[in-house]
Structure 1
């Protein structure tokens, strides 16, 4: 069913939405005064809320959102008159309606809405929920914390739980005297209560949406605040982890100052608390001034963490701080505009991390994340970045790689097209014009057009409101290049495939080529099906998508591909070589090229020295290895071993104190490839020694990237004794990164009985924030993926009841790794009978990609040994 959505501005006419999930528009909140009392022992909370609101016209009732709450003692006050209110609930649509008991109609103007409420501190990682940890004394302690995005504030207090209903929030918490309480505003008073508790009152927030509110209480401690341009910044964490806060503080202080400078607008809050929560369904959440994180994305020991783990921490901190402006200060008016904040925050996280550590080559790294978006966007079940959102389930379905990574990729493409300075000026114009207000996508395009003078909307609408992306076919002609575009697709769902759809985009293209002995560059906006580009002479080699930032693939004609690939190491930047490898592998998956073409390309690149190109080479070879028949697997294992050990010989097996961070990470990638799929015995012996040293002497005794790779190789070659040891190391890990590292390594053991023990461990012991993702990864195991599928299938009801709702579709993502027709048919039938309402489209994408994998195996699996 299609609903007409109405999203009037705050000063527009009163309108009524016919979408049953949206509130009437005749009442608008102005201010919330909230008192909340959590009882951690009983896992309950009580509270009271008073909402100052404005009526646009006469009404006989007030409707607001509530879910999973017991509400009572409701009153409505206008002027000096206060009346009780009858409460009625609409559980399906998560709404509560209040009607004056005396039957009097409420008149236009101010109204005060108040009630008491009570609820459960749930274990579903949404709303107001409980998180637990074990302290140094071995005691289990509970934290009460919140996660409100998208529509879960209504599970903590009655409210107008839609993003365009912005208001000011005043929060008071009544908590045990020995616990710490935190909210969005700074603490302004703390007084003992008669019953021995403490009453903490927090400063008012800025005007903001309900999903940005937060309150947390528990056995927590905070670092001393760092002053960042007058804004106090600190990290809050469970007791005993203060030694893990230094890197996060350094990254956050840099990011906050850098973002203030980029946006040209002061930080809109009064303080920044970064809060590490032991149980958290998402990566982090941009609550205004009280940002919550998974521990692994905030707390770390740099002496024990890999480069990738540290980069991820900087990324996530920068992403959430970027939201303080793009999302919090200026907010989408409805959930269809989630991309407005998430894509831009992803773009800003990469830009900020690139400024923090230029040597990490963060925009090159982003090619890997963009590849995940390419993978989904090549399916017939893809979706536009922005689409109509009706229900809360629709909103939940938007938190995926298309919103984040594709959105960021097209923003980056636009920035490169406009130029960084003009783009940043447009962003500042947008934020200044719409501060404290709600917006739509067109508001962003208008601001960028006004600042740049370019037809931004005409270029970008096709990328935002349509799914898919183009592949540019490139051929040589006498004076240049012929470039044509069509939609790139893997094929349809099921077993038959589908032809690529004819479609065109406005494609910003940068071409660099060698023409008659000279390097020539051309820029164009490809708006039609094809163009003949005059390069001024005969093209010897060409790089289309020069700079590597376009959101499209490139397919060179045979001879041009051969000439360009032979000189790739000399004439292409690493990010461009990454694109060449990635595009070639995608052509193999789509059936446009044989696997032998990819194998030949990566063999030609054997002298490669760039981390990110090597990551794509290794992942591509592993992908082919997974679908090959036994003789092909052996051939590919030898190729992986030979390529990786040769590159290791050039790089050096031993870390050097003066080498770049990315060389250290590359060593880990090559070491794992050689000892894992490559099964190199010398590497496996060395891995055993490194693993023993790190386990006995502490992880810091071995260079972290090499130590992490050694854990994986030791697991791949390990026995039951090794397995028991890794379980113990997981349970006794001293950093969040080490805990996750050992859990992931348990998936690499070859023995079926050990693999089945791992599945049970994930389902029963591992935190629910991690278990669904680990079970998903289990389904990609080279030999036992089908066993993992059977485990998930047989325990589906129990798992979906235990795990957070937002993780169920992600757990199902493991089926993408399955590649036999009989199993794929079974999986498809299962999901036909087991809906995932909050991720129906995502599951459909998983199933389609599974069938793509089946077709790849049927097409190439038996040929791979011969192809190499």
Structure 2
């Protein structure tokens, strides 16, 4: 016999000598008791003689385990559960020979309140009655909480699920209902066999749910599911679901791999959405929306998330990464594809332009010494959870976009098709993708891309003139804090250069492989732009002369994404100490006539950052600085849309009004907001929805207890998920310590959903009038929060500590987390600490400049 000793080699990976090929799973949830019972038969392929079988299981009670083969031989197992490793080991009295076996298990579990595994979600109907439904969330490693299984992505198998439920309820799983019957007073729903897929993609939802009429895409019926009463909010999500599914079938050149597609809005859901094959689950705000009252940003979020999850049906579900270090293969590609699909559906939204804001968020983390490569070693489950961040999603999508633009969109698409065809129903690694793309492009893609995927950080490309005949490009790793090792890194950087020669433009495409290269220029160049088109994942630093030439020739010559990069790169180099703050502030004056919402986003973000650093007596001068920049733009746009005005300008109007009323503390804007709000309450259609979030946040910022009570009531009685969220987060924007204490108390008293509560705490940490109060609350209630909040939410909540930007608070933050030995998984906590250090260092370095600026106001 061969003993099962793999656990001594890697405690987080299962042995490979027993392979599951099929799960016949029968579950009976009791929503009232919050429990479930289960039976399963797992068909196994045993590769070598063994005396033990190891699988994953946690928070389950396993009553019996028996093994039989085709000859009728039956073996009963001794069951050993290891909660710390989330494993179950079955030991048999006789040897188990190679061949096909069936493992029969009987088990029980609890429907938990942690929004992971098989869990409970509650909601109230229009009469105020509370109802319960049960839903699943298995990614990354929580299928093991619902049934014993081989819970690793490369153990793909076929799943046949049967759910035994109350006859008054319904159930949805990955596939169509194959049969339905009543047995002993229970409804028995048997679902068709799934494709071969990973455990984390299995799903079942049980409760009172209603479905839209199906819309066919080829042979696939597409439906949206909601709790009763919310079907009127489904048409917009249904439209993008159908449109994106059609787009992906055409782009991938492969039919949708499932037998139906259901999209389900779950009242309690920790993530934004989850790509379970054929049964995609969503947070309600990410699927349900009223186009008449939703802002452009809210509609855009629904479109993005729906397209993202549909893209996963191929990239992630049909072809899956071999292990969690390759998560970017799923998530970066789905992010990239969501942009393509939404841009195809709504080209007027200019999604690739607004994606620049998301790319900037990835830049901000990837400029840290504590960043990680896109593909990073993963051992423990908590490290897999920490991979769901901007480096996996936004940086990964950004480097894919850069590659697509470098080799050409058609060639790129052909490589993607080849990759999916080659690895369908299986698993793949990064190199498999490079092979397919390299074959299509006839270029050495690994040599180009490995540096972007397997090493941390990104380059800062510096441009300087060599006389008048050439520009010299040099590269070094960009970091906010000094890092001697960074100078040793380099990338193969696809650089696009736009040359201005009078009224003409010429273009140069070069690959910067070395530390430095000289690019010859034609005669008569008056200015040049590095990163033409804006899709390169690098920052640019111009020499003062080149920057002056670029500004003197007019920013209106640049595309919006290029203007965004110009100011975003300038702000980043200011944070890092490479550009003095007065130079950056002078640069912002060149954007007073700007009408692109993304450019304004980085401008406003930089002033919000400074607002966190200044002392209370300095804040009025900063407010005056904001008013001088923003007020003219608000005056030009007004408060009411013009006929034919596009959605992006409407969104910009709302963001500028919000900044002027809060960050600028402009009394006239605050008064106007109050008047418009009263008009809105009387007639919602009389005020553009895109300015309502700004109005609500301004009124909260200036609000008293009466307004707090009114907003609390509107949170509880909101008509849409977006309205609910709007009023919930307004409760974190008040200035009164007593009101903010009520908000904080509600996060742990049951006054708000645990999916939202940690984000509300983070929002109060970001409120300059409540951050110290929120920090004290977090410290005092950490243990309770750790028990109550989903781990993903807890991790995001801790991101609010980056706003505690004083030396004293920074020291206290480090002492608290160090003393408690808190681990958020991966490098998450180290990144938060470093971001806080950058803010405090900036405050120390630029304090004199800030004071000088304020004296001039």
TM-score if structure 1 supplies the norm length? 0.96
**In structure 1, how many angstroms separate the alpha carbons of the residues matched to 2:763 and 2:701?**
15
Structure 1 residue 762: Cα displacement: 2.5
Please name the residue that 2:35 is paired with: 44
Pair 1:250 & 2:250 matched: no
Q: Which residue of 2 aligns with 1:94?
A: 86
Q: Give 1:16 deviation, angstroms.
A: 8.5
2:23 is paired with a residue whose SS is strand
Mapping 1:281-300, distance limit 5 Å: 281-300=270-289
Mapped partners of 2:374, 2:465: distance in 1 = 34
Conserved? CA contact 1:57–1:108, under 8 Å = yes
- Tell me the number of residue pairs that the alignment of Structure 1 and Structure 2 aligns: 847
Alpha-carbon distance in structure 2 between the residues aligned to 1:89 and 1:630: 57
Question: 1:3 maps to which residue?
Answer: none
SS in structure 2 at match of 1:539:
coil
Q: What are the equivalent positions in structure 2 for 1:599-678 lying under 5 Å apart? A: 599-630=585-616, 632-678=618-664
2-structure distance, mates of 1:136, 1:570: 52
1:638-787 map, 5 Å = 638-698=624-684, 700-764=685-749, 765-787=751-773
* 1:579 partnered with 2:570: no
User: Which of 247, 253, 258 pairs up with 1:269?
Assistant: 258
Q: 1:235–1:273: 8 Å Cα contact kept in structure 2?
A: yes
Q: State the Cα deviation string for residues 166-207 of structure 1 (Å, max 9, x = none).
A: 00000000000010101001111110112x220000011000
The Cα offsets for residues 124-180 of structure 1, whole Å up to 9 and x where unpaired, read as: 011000000011121111111100011110100011111111000000000000101
How far apart are the structure 2 equivalents of 1:520 and 1:721?
61
* Aligned residue runs from structure 1 range 422-441, under 5 A: 422-441=411-430
Report deviation, 1:625: 2.8
Matched with 2:481 is: 491
2:205 counterpart of 1:216: yes
Q: In structure 2, what is the Cα distance between the partners aligned to 1:762 and 1:63?
A: 40
> 424, 433, 438: which one pairs with 1:449?
438
Q: In the TM superposition, what is the alpha-carbon distance from 1:517 to its structure 2 partner?
A: 5.9
Greater alpha carbon shift after TM alignment, 831-840 vs 325-334: 831-840
Specify which of 171, 177, 189 is matched with residue 187 of structure 1: 177
Q: Does 1:381 align with 2:370?
A: yes
In the TM superposition, residue 87 of structure 1 has moved relative to its aligned partner by 1.2
Q: Deviations over 1:660-717 (max 9, x none)?
A: 001110110111111111122221111101222323434x442111112111111112
- Alignment partner of 1:55 is 2:36: no
Rate the CA distance shift 1:268–1:840 in 2: closer, same or farther, 3 A. Answer: closer
TM-aligned CA deviation for residue 214 of structure 1: 0.4
User: What is the rounded CA distance, in whole Å, between the counterparts of 1:818 and 1:561 in structure 2?
Assistant: 34
Is contact 1:226–1:233 with CA below 8 Å preserved after alignment? yes
Structure-1 residue corresponding to 2:396: 407
Higher mean displacement: 832-841 or 542-551: 832-841
- Provide the C-alpha distance between the structure 2 equivalents of 1:499 and 1:394, rounded to a whole number of angstroms: 25
CA distance in 2, matches of 1:531, 1:634: 47
Task: Say which of 34, 37, 47 aligns to 2:25.
Answer: 34
State the shift of 1:817 in Å: 1.0
8 Å CA contact 1:71–1:116 kept in 2: the answer is yes
Whether contact under 8 Å (1:208, 1:436) holds in the other structure is yes
- SS of 2:703's equivalent in the other structure is coil
Shift of 1:639: 2.6
Whole-Å separation in 2 of the counterparts to 1:792 and 1:567: 51
Q: Distance in 2 between matches of 1:518 and 1:657?
A: 35
- Per the alignment, in what secondary structure is the counterpart of residue 766 of structure 1? coil
Tell me the secondary structure at the aligned position of residue 843 of structure 2: helix
Distance 2:613 2:523 in 1: 44
User: For 1:502 and 1:773, how far apart are their aligned partners in 2?
Assistant: 39
Name the CA distance, whole Å, in 2 between partners of 1:568 and 1:769: 47
Q: Deviations over 1:76-98 (max 9, x none)?
A: 00122222222112222111122
- Matching residue of 1:165: 155
What is the aligned counterpart of 2:294 among 296, 302, 305? Answer: 305
Report the equivalent of 1:227: 216
**C-alpha displacement at 1:515, in angstroms?**
3.7
Query: 1:8: which partner in 2?
Result: none
Task: Report the 3-state secondary structure (helix = DSSP H, G, I; strand = E; otherwise coil) of the residue aligned with 2:94.
Answer: coil
Q: Secondary structure at the match of 1:812?
A: helix
* Secondary structure at 2:96 match in 1: coil
Residues 324-348 of structure 1 show CA distances to partners (whole Å, capped at 9, x for unaligned) of 0001000111111111111110111
In structure 2, how many angstroms separate the alpha carbons of the residues matched to 1:427 and 1:398? 23
Aligned to 1:81: 73
Q: Distance in 2 between matches of 1:797 and 1:15?
A: 35
Question: Do the aligned partners of residues 577 and 568 (structure 1) sit closer, same or farther apart at CA in structure 2, a change above 3 Å counting?
Answer: farther
Which residue, 504, 510, 516 being the options, matches 2:496?
510
Q: Helix, strand or coil for the counterpart of 1:446?
A: helix
2:509 matched to which residue of 1? 523
Query: Deviations 1:329-371 (Å, cap 9, x if unpaired)?
Result: 0011111111111111011111111111111111111111111
- Partners in 1 of 2:452 and 2:821 — Cα distance? 30
Q: Which of 139, 147, 151 in structure 1 is aligned with 2:129?
A: 139
Distance in 2 between residues matched to 1:91 and 1:372, nearest whole Å? 37
TM-score by length of structure 2 reads 0.97
Structure 2, gaps ≥5 residues long: none
Q: What RMSD over aligned residues (CA atoms) do the two structures have, in Å?
A: 1.6
Range 155-164 or range 79-88, more displaced: 79-88
Say whether 1:241 aligns with 2:230.
yes
Does the C-alpha gap of structure 1 residues 751 and 568 become closer, same or farther in structure 2, counting only changes over 3 Å?
A: farther
Contact 2:764 2:774 in 1 (8 A): yes
Q: Tell me, yes or no, if the aligned pair for 1:808 and 1:836 is still in contact at 8 Å.
A: no
SS of equivalent to 2:119: strand
1:840 CA drift (Å): 4.8
CA shift, 1:544, in A, is: 0.3
Q: Matched residues in 2 for 1:840 and 1:456: separation? A: 28
Pairwise CA distance, 1:571 = 1.9
> Secondary structure of the equivalent of 1:683?
helix
Q: Secondary structure at the match of 1:383?
A: coil
Contact 1:516 1:537 in 2 (8 A): no
State the Cα distance separating 1:784 from its structure 2 match.
Answer: 2.0
Deviates more, 1:414-423 or 1:588-597: 588-597
Residue pairs, 1:1-12, within 5 angstroms: none
| SS of equivalent residue, structure 1 residue 694 | helix
Q: After the TM superposition, list the runs of 4 or more consecutive aligned residues in structure 1 that deviate by more than 6 angstroms.
A: 14-17
| Structure 2 partner of 1:9 | none
Query: Which 10-residue stretch deviates more, 522-531 or 769-778?
Result: 769-778
Distance 1:229 1:339 in 2: 30
In 2, Cα distance between the equivalents of 1:355 and 1:518?
A: 30
Between the aligned partners of 1:239 and 1:648, the Cα distance in structure 2 is 41
**1:851 Cα offset (Å):** 0.7
Are residues 663 and 532 of structure 1, via their aligned partners in 2, closer, same or farther at CA, if it must alter by over 3 Å?
A: same
